[in-house]
Amino acid sequence: MHDGHGYFLEELSVGMSESFTKKVSDQDIIGFANVSGDTNPVHLEDDFARRTRFKERIAHGLLSASFISAVLGTRLPGPGCIYLSQNLKFRAPVRIGDTVTAKATITAIDREKGKIDLDTVCTVGEKVVIDGQAQLLVSKRAAVGQVA
């Protein structure tokens, strides 16, 4: 990383990978509900959640998916990248106290257009809870070392 900037396009290669891990707390879920406006009681109310297929409160799917954003925006490619797209498949619920690991792996690089494609996955232990693909815009290194 360079003066607060993440990797430049020229420094990236297919197969590079990074991850971010976070234990999901009750406060994370409440905070996400407050920020997003998603107050679905399956996330916030024990009595309601007990009557669902999950039998207990679960985290918002997009809370766990936001950990992918943490990987991309802080580690690979890191600060300065721009999210262009993301698709997600929600495979299993995340519960309070689960530790989620989000991982992103570069699968393709378009050096002409300054774009990269990545496989993204969130796991709790060995269980995949979310998977998908992302595309990002990444700065090229300018001739004088400035962000292009």
| Residue 147 clears pLDDT 60, i.e. is over it | no
**How do residues 95-134 score in pLDDT, each as one tens digit?**
999 999 999 999 999 999 999 999 999 999 999 999 999 9
Mean pLDDT of 22-39: 98
| Residue 69 clears pLDDT 70, i.e. is over it | yes
List of domains in the chain: 9-137 (3.10.129.10)
Encode the chain in three state secondary structure.
CECCECCCHHHCCCCCEEEEEEECCHHHHHHHHHHHCCCCHHHHCHHHHHCCCCCCCECCHHHHHHHHHHHHHHCCCCCCCEEEEEEEEECCCCECCCEEEEEEEEEEEECCCCEEEEEEEEEECCEEEEEEEEEEECCCECCCCCEC
